[in-house]
Structure 1
């Protein structure tokens, strides 16, 4: 593939999605320029859990082994638990997906560093560069970007990848619409040093979700659900005391309570949106990651969906077989056609998981417990749910399956095994 422009691809944004796109497209031999307005990654709690489907791509690019050598933590199960620690629903990855298939927990800056270090030599990352707007040719096709670095300057390319986040100006610039909804709660995140948990555990309480999982270097990530106005008027000390009270009410997490007051424990407060763009591409431009979609973090799908976007975009460009504007636009149409149904499925999986674990109304709690119990008691549905979350051979649940989960109908196929999962990166391949 060749071109006379400054780059074949301009990727706007050096988050996980943008750098995954750089790895995937750089591996095709394309000249990729990544433009990022921040000089360094922001220290925020996001994108710390890599599902097996993502690890397969990272292993192919060489980023997975870097994360393992850097101290990434393996997690082999997801559990929903009662406050006393009693299991409500367990998804054992090794049992349901096969030996060697796990989640890898790593710090977000480490994931970004591993992706950037794994990119091919034909990938260039430029930081501290702000994109002003898109450049179009005489036919209106996107053909590059204009930079906002003093005097007007453009970077031309046959493909622009918009990976510039939820407030994407590039998405707005091509008129792609999305409807943003907010969940009726907020999340408070704590990074707790000097502690360790062995699993990804969601504790279901009358006051909402309490989610904990391990991070490298003996740290724990803790998310606490709060009602929209529950923390109104509180300062940092008040929020920490509120968190201590919330954790103390979950005996399985009580040992973390006093650590929440330590000055080295970092805290962040998040609103929780969900959205999906109605289109993923226009001629010359692809939307990728948070510029196109966001889901509740409970099911650990956000960053993993962005990586899957990059994989599919590269697959469509490979299938196109040549590097011309017409071939690129054909590939972009295929990317939209193939990827959008997958993203709708991910949105459904994440939304259902979030509602099951975060609803606090009496009816909501009753439905959530029944859905968990129905899934836990049905081997077929447990396996399908695990694959949906892990991203390995996703198996969308039908409306009839919801009736089985709720216990309204007996499932005649409850013990019917699903086909063996397709290949995915194993621990040995990432070692």
Structure 2
């Protein structure tokens, strides 16, 4: 018979780590570093090995980091390692049209000079950002890495969560954070449901070398099958993220490199001169996936595990970085108050902070894609006039610039700058 004067067994169980983060892509290591900075013991878990995750080959992937995401990376001590490889985005030009016909004269144009904080953002290649994060994680004594292990189960009790693996002994933590992507096993095991749908579009992604300089200008060109983003990289190189119908994308991606370029060229014209492929090219399906909750008992979600959106505005990773900065701050403040890490009140504060912004981003990207990915002449006229009106109104234009830089809303401290 249990002794009524003894605490329940769950209260005397000790944790192996304060916070377990499942997923070692970009958001997971960023969160691990932010938490370690505030004194938390963190275990970072990924099914891939460090060698695979640190692969130095250039595969064309790059990210548009908003100014506030750069501040976060600087705050956790990573930015200096990628700064020399980062291309500032000084202007954004948004146009509408059809392939081979050139853009509409009615367009939006945003210039970083209209805000005081500096460039709206930076383009950073995946290989540089990933390596810098992993190097920083390896150098941090408060972070333990578990690579090549897959979480297959999670059990929650009053004071913590126990993770079971495909091999080896279990791990107990006060809180588990799912940074494991749109098909998040962490969310599924916590019983968190999702809503979402496909767009009948695939993204074609590559990098190009070009003859003329890009001058730090990012272009978003809307065409009936879907948008094409042309994003400046260091040197005379740019990253391409190009949406097409599923059947067109499959046919284009199957082409030899020379034919692939022949299809790509008329989609943005000749202003960059001669172009050639730089690195690999690949394709992936486009969809929306939104978790109905960002938290559950002893569980929080960040990044694509909580919200996977259309890349039309390049804000997917930036939204994840905001999750990371907000969750790190909520945890730090809870610890300073002596509050138990991972309790449901703490988790609800995080969800309240981030849920509305993420739902709004999902709705905005979904609406923009539906508005622009068609060839209806009335809708084309309405959106072209709308873009021209925004570009002509300084106050509205400045608001869009600040939004692109990530400077709107309640910013976590790590994103506020010096």
273 and 339 in structure 1: CA distance in 2 versus 1, 3 angstrom threshold: same
Give the 5 Å matches for 1:138-177. Answer: 139=158, 143-149=161-167, 151=168, 153-177=169-193
8 Å CA contact 2:205–2:283 kept in 1: the answer is yes
**How many angstroms apart in 2 are the aligned matches of 1:285 and 1:373?**
45
Give the 5 Å matches for 1:399-418. Answer: none
Residue 270 in structure 1 maps to residue 288 in structure 2: no
**How many angstroms apart in 2 are the aligned matches of 1:324 and 1:100?**
38
**How many angstroms apart in 1 are the aligned matches of 2:375 and 2:117?**
36
**Which residue number corresponds to residue 354 of structure 1?**
369
**Which residue number corresponds to residue 27 of structure 2?**
17
Q: Secondary structure at the match of 1:237?
A: coil
**How many angstroms apart in 2 are the aligned matches of 1:381 and 1:84?**
26
8 Å CA contact 1:37–1:128 kept in 2: the answer is yes
Shift in Å at residue 209 of structure 1?
A: 2.4
**Which residue number corresponds to residue 135 of structure 1?**
155
RMSD over aligned CA atoms reads: 2.8
Q: Secondary structure at the match of 2:194?
A: coil
- Select the residue among 26, 35, 40 that pairs with 1:30: 40
Residue 227 in structure 1 maps to residue 227 in structure 2: no
8 Å CA contact 1:272–1:296 kept in 2: the answer is yes
341 and 235 in structure 1: CA distance in 2 versus 1, 3 angstrom threshold: closer
**How many angstroms apart in 2 are the aligned matches of 1:278 and 1:45?**
33
326 and 423 in structure 1: CA distance in 2 versus 1, 3 angstrom threshold: closer
**How many angstroms apart in 2 are the aligned matches of 1:142 and 1:187?**
40
**Which residue number corresponds to residue 76 of structure 1?**
90
8 Å CA contact 1:387–1:394 kept in 2: the answer is no
**How many angstroms apart in 2 are the aligned matches of 1:323 and 1:423?**
24
8 Å CA contact 1:8–1:32 kept in 2: the answer is yes
8 Å CA contact 1:88–1:373 kept in 2: the answer is yes
Question: With structure 2 as the length reference, what TM-score do the two structures score?
Answer: 0.83
Shift in Å at residue 173 of structure 1?
A: 0.6
Query: How many correspondences in the alignment?
Result: 388
- Select the residue among 388, 393, 401 that pairs with 1:386: 401
**Which residue number corresponds to residue 126 of structure 2?**
108
234 and 359 in structure 1: CA distance in 2 versus 1, 3 angstrom threshold: closer
Shift in Å at residue 171 of structure 1?
A: 0.6
Q: Secondary structure at the match of 2:40?
A: coil
363 and 375 in structure 1: CA distance in 2 versus 1, 3 angstrom threshold: same
**How many angstroms apart in 1 are the aligned matches of 2:328 and 2:108?**
36
8 Å CA contact 2:92–2:109 kept in 1: the answer is yes
**How many angstroms apart in 2 are the aligned matches of 1:11 and 1:186?**
30
8 Å CA contact 1:80–1:201 kept in 2: the answer is yes
Shift in Å at residue 28 of structure 1?
A: 1.2
Give the 5 Å matches for 1:240-259. Answer: 241-252=259-270, 255-256=273-274, 259=276
**How many angstroms apart in 2 are the aligned matches of 1:16 and 1:326?**
23
**How many angstroms apart in 1 are the aligned matches of 2:345 and 2:194?**
23
**Which residue number corresponds to residue 50 of structure 1?**
65
**How many angstroms apart in 1 are the aligned matches of 2:203 and 2:74?**
32
Give the 5 Å matches for 1:313-324. Answer: 313-320=327-334, 321-322=336-337
**How many angstroms apart in 1 are the aligned matches of 2:202 and 2:395?**
33
Q: Residues 110-168 of structure 1, C-alpha deviation per residue, up to 9 Å, x if partnerless?
A: 2122233344431123321211121323x5x751311112x4x1111001011011111
Deviates more, 1:166-175 or 1:127-136: 127-136
Query: Which blocks of at least 5 consecutive residues in structure 1 are unaligned?
Result: 396-421
**Which residue number corresponds to residue 213 of structure 1?**
231
**How many angstroms apart in 1 are the aligned matches of 2:333 and 2:23?**
25
**Which residue number corresponds to residue 126 of structure 1?**
146
235 and 337 in structure 1: CA distance in 2 versus 1, 3 angstrom threshold: closer
8 Å CA contact 1:32–1:124 kept in 2: the answer is yes
361 and 13 in structure 1: CA distance in 2 versus 1, 3 angstrom threshold: same
8 Å CA contact 2:106–2:388 kept in 1: the answer is no
Q: Secondary structure at the match of 2:155?
A: strand
Q: Residues 149-206 of structure 1, C-alpha deviation per residue, up to 9 Å, x if partnerless?
A: 2x4x111100101101111111111111111211242221112246652311012345
**How many angstroms apart in 1 are the aligned matches of 2:60 and 2:162?**
32
Q: Residues 386-406 of structure 1, C-alpha deviation per residue, up to 9 Å, x if partnerless?
A: 2223210249xxxxxxxxxxx
Question: With structure 1 as the length reference, what TM-score do the two structures score?
Answer: 0.81
Query: Which blocks of at least 5 consecutive residues in structure 2 are unaligned?
Result: 1-12
Q: Secondary structure at the match of 2:192?
A: coil
Shift in Å at residue 322 of structure 1?
A: 4.7
**How many angstroms apart in 1 are the aligned matches of 2:338 and 2:133?**
24
8 Å CA contact 2:18–2:175 kept in 1: the answer is yes
**How many angstroms apart in 1 are the aligned matches of 2:258 and 2:375?**
22
